[in-house]
Structure 1
């Protein structure tokens, strides 16, 4: 098998063409009727920017791609394939004007065999022997497909995962699965192989050589055999490994199974990695991996990134997964769809246990085509990702009790179909368990259930988190709490975070209910009444993680979500259309919450002074200020302007910040803090420092905005807006919504869904910024807020 990524030499047009001929018409007619094709590089998402546009809905429709391929298959009688790692949401593939294959579903992989049309030829001579390929991606909403567009994420369109050109011989491997069981003493495995041989009708002999190697490259098993070609999946070998190197989050040991098929010019090699491990969700008890209790410390991931939408490159995905592992996580739920093979490979390598699910998300239950898509995507997910040892749970759906897309609603019908998916999952893979989140009337059907517990955000209060969790635990056979957290605006810090818990109903559960995500209406809740600050979020995380250390029955939890992400159902967020529950921003910039998780989960020494990125802190001159530090070390010493404020020992149950907090006096103006973290022997093993201005002047309501422009070393211009009262005092807590604008040759670098890349945004602690590409000319930038005069600044290129 020979594989090459097709990343370059693509053109794209966002339009619904009248037919595939329009993709090629300009080549024959000398640019008459020319569409606005532009050069793009794959992966490419045609909602990379408009998903975060505050003024217009994101585009849902057709997007067309075209390229010319040089085909040179070296295998006699071989097949030429286009392998798609994922494309949204419905895909048609054309060779010149002829449809050669289609796929429904935006997240599972699929392969289109273009061999016969390539061999047929008859392409225009002006392509000089190259093969014209056009691909239509369509994310137009269709109620009879999944996921529902009332889901809390965008249904992106485009070739947003890699496309590969693949050459295989006439007989090749379609799938290879290594199915194993293991103990500490011995592992047993069977190798299941399915062949791909269209057009080969005879059962001629197939020569095979199988080799299995451990992570160091040592051979642990080999065999050679000759067998008549077969239909379906067949066990080609079974083997045992004594004293296997087990896979776990601390020791993610991987083995490689390599199958050489055929010989001579038709020889091809297929390789798959796998691992040995066993796990158990104890009934009414904790989670065990390889016989030992493991508290699952998790988060969630969407395939979504600033400026590119779903079109994350391999480098981006690797960076994100490394950040998750460095935070100290050992578990991740991939929400709410099958994700890139690259993400799963990283989970294998880094040691991150996985819950992966199909996108039956909200909306109800459609007809036969809808149900078949669910089954097809479940089958594809299991067949394509079965070898990954990181996966322990196959998710059957998410929030399937959320009615929306159909006039009919029948709980019994949903239950029956959920059971069908559960049984199909176990038929396809009996080595893993099934799971769903938030569908109480289906919780008895699947193996592992997560009720909705949003204590301290959509319902309830976080000091009662343990009680809510215990109720959820008692109400199901195998309990796992996924999805908890709070929206938090990067850079928004408060001295006294929201604690108006007396306004929140008690004893009514902590489950999110339809409409709770809205900022108006419904019962009082922190998401509506709170300050959306990083401070509140850190307090909540601190409480949750401290509590989890003393819940011996707990399997684990997963915070929602690791990174801020775009969503069409949240237009009123401080950054419109952004779910802001991330511990990092949409461009990987860390928020303070990242360090709180590290202080509990990471084994690498770390220390962080809360609010380390704050330029201004405010208070009275004679008022002591609370300084909190997060660390995973034995003790921390805080230095304030060169003078020690004392040493504090870290005590997990001393809330907040595990006892690492100081009440100190600050001098008006510039202050410098240093935190020295020490191990049990008193050796400094980590250090953090920050410098800020301490503002003692009191301020009134904002009366004006001031706008400044600063040219950066990379040529961009940084615009910063600040709010001041009528006396000219900086309003250090202002959260008014501002709007940036630009006139001239420059370009605002906006629609990124970050606090530095959004033209419509609420101030964080009295300020907001955005960048401009001046493009070598003059522009005038502006910023305004309701009730305040517009401020201007000139930008010179």
Structure 2
């Protein structure tokens, strides 16, 4: 979506959401996001916490204390207590009102104190909670508000573990709510007490049921009128219902009304027609005591006998992505406009489905889905494992109930979920009898959640998402509880081949025909800095990511029994325990952590959005070796047109046919900047085009002619090119040949038995942002020869040593839980000579910097007639090198 279109959409959506939040004069919602102070405190003593003498930091909500420590090189992040402090002044106008504080979320547990009195506890980091504070406020005084929040591990609170970061803090909005003494509420579950269903919908008529829970907190009986009215998007009232009701003193009671709409405009991804339902509570004098507005849409959906999803009677393949809620340098304290933009990017991509994973997210996301026609599932964070305790069970059930009641009125929601990969880390592997009991307790919890969900909302589907171990889930009995079974499948990534995905789909369908099949996760790590000519599994390259997604898209679309599929993930997200080329980030996203589109995003945009588009690949910085001032390079262009024309440096290149949304050329690029233009015509004859500049740095086979305007950069043990933070491109290693340059001898670090990445390591390298340069290595080399012209050169050696250790695969989704990674490397000691002169003596990388830590050694040297000859002499073990940078000084 262009910036202009996006701003227009956000403005229109904001106007619509404003309509939904217009309250009567007796219900006021006042933002309460400024004026807060914050301090960390690890004390478990309540008295100590509220009497802190530490310096307080001024913060604005949303806020998290983990925005930066999750990205540093120190393992772990702060999981402890944070204290927030503010004041509320009770004025004369508020006297006689009911006053509440509404917190959209606090990660993961919270205690609310007013004037040092503890009035509310809340467990769970992803749902809203509401506390009545009026009785604790003093008139004419600045009343102290303290919220104690903790994200420390709690074995009785999901999630216990997961491939995402458990950010702490008040990371969603806060509001003060004022109401009359009689008002709508369901505050035990953080909800507003209005529940809307559409039990009958077709194109000619729709029936609407509204349940309103009302509380009369006064000491008098109240005779009132309950009024519901439906408004079109244009603001025209098209249906209403009024009922006289009676509430005793201090009574909370539910009331139900029915409405009808003739010839409703149906809601769908193509036409997301939204109505507004206004619910009012009116006293005998006609005064509106309370008013709440909710979105309303008319649609019906089901799975047919072939388990194909139908919306409004028409088959619809559900295509989209899952989403986590964090953003670069913000953690999960992300403002609403960026949250809404995520949904608009999904819509622009052609997606019609969002899996809100693995926890409830801000209401702004669901409101955007309602407005844009994005169908959603939403789930609670029971991930990987459970605790076999009554407290864990009750917390899980309460979370599910909170989620359902808080998001009940979003027409985009069609699925409630409650478990994800819950058998991924089975406990008691060494005690099979005890493990059977554990598995049975998981099944019992799943059944309780299923029963609760169906009781709360029988109109929507339920879902559990499994990883690829079909037989284990079947054995435990989890394949037959929920309406839908989602499958998180990764053939061709965590194991196997891309081609195995289709076969796995066929087998699941054969073995579980009675259930709709959703692929709830699939994806491959894509590091946009890495390119490769011959992609292989786990190289993290753009090219492998494209091949992976192309294969999956074909298999998904060619199988009608696959009701839908959600790419994992819409955007990269924080996962502090991950290492690999981008430490602390799961980079399977179609967008980067700061929402820059990767090539994989453009593949989906051109495949699933019918609007014509031409988009040149993001690979615009390149380097290679060539004996001439040009090189034949591959250029990918993503498009949904049939044929495209390519122009390079204002010269025409032959047209290419678009196959599977990619047109490819092998064409000549010159050393330096190359102007690239691609254009094509739609079936209606309209021109569409894209242009860019590709910068190519050519290094000659003989460096005698190289001008060194850019440094020579080489990554050893690597077959990939890498673009660093300065935009420089590091070449994959090159073996020396007579009359040329490169390495002599040795071997690339290669782990034959590694289940994932074979070459190099995928561990976090401490002390650098350029991890890929230090993760591959050439060992046992004899020398490096660079036939550079005479001059003085700055040579920077990059080293990292890897110790002998065994690492359990944290996220092994192959279905084989018994694989781990191991490499055997010994300590190495060696000297380095340049043109016969010893410049580094007794280098012990591990001793000098530690294992998995970046070490740079810089040397200034003069070349001789034969250039630079760098020799490696082993004293113990083997010499090694990870990368080298050579710059000419003069």
TM-score range, shorter chain: 0.7 to 0.9
The aligned residue for residue 271 of structure 1 is: 293
Deviates more, 1:621-630 or 1:213-222: 621-630
- The aligned counterpart of 1:762 is 771
Shift of 1:56: 3.6
Secondary structure of 1:317's counterpart equals: helix
Note if contact 1:364-1:403 (Cα within 8 Å) is conserved in structure 2.
no
Matches of residues 171-250 of structure 1 in structure 2 within 5 Å?
Answer: 171-174=182-185, 175-180=193-198, 181-197=200-216, 199-200=217-218, 202-229=220-247, 234-250=254-270
Q: Distance in 1 between matches of 2:353 and 2:247?
A: 41
CA separation in 2, counterparts of 1:626 and 1:760? 28
Q: Give the deviation of 1:338 after TM superposition.
A: 1.1
* Deviation of 1:668 (Å): 3.3
DSSP 3-state at the match of 2:665: strand
Q: Say whether 1:537 aligns with 2:545.
A: yes
The SS at the match of 1:400 is coil
| Match status 1:368 vs 2:396 | no
1:432 to 431, 440, 460: 460
Distance 1:488 1:74 in 2: 57
Structure 2 residue ranges without an equivalent (≥5) = 1-26, 186-192, 467-472, 702-711, 717-724, 750-763, 777-795, 801-844, 846-854, 860-884, 886-890
Q: What residue in structure 1 maps to residue 33 of structure 2?
A: 7
Provide the residue aligned with 2:403 in structure 1: 381
Tell me which of 554, 568, 573 is aligned to 1:546.
554
- Indicate the residue corresponding to 1:59 in structure 2: 78
Q: For residues 715 and 691 of structure 2, what CA distance do their matches in structure 1 show?
A: 34
1:71 to 1:761, Cα distance in 2 relative to 1, 3 A: farther
CA distance in 1, matches of 2:625, 2:590: 25
Given the alignment, which residue of 500, 506, 524 partners 1:470?
506
2:598 and 2:618 in contact (8 A); partners too: no
Preserved CA contact (<8 Å) 2:649 2:674:
yes
Question: How far off its partner does 1:629 sit?
Answer: 1.2
Distance 1:189 1:269 in 2: 18
Give, in angstroms, the shift of residue 641 of structure 1.
2.1
Structure 1 residue 362 displacement after superposition: 1.4
Name the SS of the counterpart of 1:65 in structure 2. Answer: strand
Question: C-alpha distance in 1, partners of 2:649/2:130?
Answer: 63
For the Cα contact (< 8 Å) 2:215–2:253, is it kept in 1?
Answer: no
Which of 120, 132, 140 aligns to 1:113? It is 132
* Distance (whole Å) between structure 2 residues aligned to residue 75 and residue 42 of structure 1: 24
Q: What is aligned with 2:566? A: 558
TM-fit CA distance, 1:600: 0.4
Residue 259 of structure 1 pairs with residue 279 of structure 2: yes
Superposed CA RMSD in Å reads 3.2
Give me the TM-score of the superposition, normalised by structure 2.
0.73
Say whether residues 1:352 and 2:388 are aligned partners.
no
Pick one of 109, 134, 147 that aligns with 1:135. 147
Corresponding residue SS for 1:430 = coil
1:359 aligned counterpart, secondary structure: coil
Q: Report SS of the residue matched to 1:555.
A: strand
Query: Secondary structure of 2:555's match?
Result: helix
Q: Is the 8 A contact 1:287 1:293 kept in 2?
A: yes
1:65-97 deviation line (CA, Å, top 9, x unaligned):
001122347466321100011111110000121
User: How far does residue 200 in structure 1 lie from its aligned partner after superposition?
Assistant: 3.1
- Are the counterparts in 2 of residues 73 and 167 from structure 1 also a CA contact under 8 Å? no
Deviations 1:403-446, CA, capped at 9 Å, x for gaps: 36789542222212211211111111111010011144301111
CA distance in 2, matches of 1:18, 1:449: 41
CA spacing shift, 1:444–1:257, aligned 2, 3 Å: same
Q: Secondary structure at the match of 1:47?
A: coil
Which of 690, 694, 706 aligns to 1:687? It is 690
**CA–CA distance in structure 1, aligned partners of residues 110 and 559 of structure 2:** 47
Alignment of 1:299-378 (within 5 A): 299-378=321-400
Q: Distance in 1 between matches of 2:341 and 2:488?
A: 30
1:526-562 C-alpha deviation (Å, 9 max, x unpaired): 3xxx311111101111222233333233211001011
Q: Quote how far apart the aligned CAs of 1:182 are.
A: 1.1
Q: Aligned in 2, Cα 1:760/1:196: closer, same or farther, shift over 3 Å?
A: farther
Q: 2:788 maps to which residue?
A: none
Number of residues paired by the alignment? Answer: 692
Is the Cα–Cα contact under 8 Å of residues 76 and 169 in structure 1 kept in the other structure? no
CA gap of 1:18–1:155, structure 2 versus 1, over 3 A, is closer
* Matches for 1:482-521 after TM superposition, within 5 Å: 482-498=520-536
Check conservation: 1:20, 1:134, Cα contact below 8 A: no
Judge conservation of contact 1:640–1:673 (CA < 8 Å) in 2.
yes
The more displaced of 467-476 and 782-791 is: 782-791
Partner deviation per Cα, 1:334-366 (whole Å, 9 max, x = no partner): 111111111111111111111100111112342
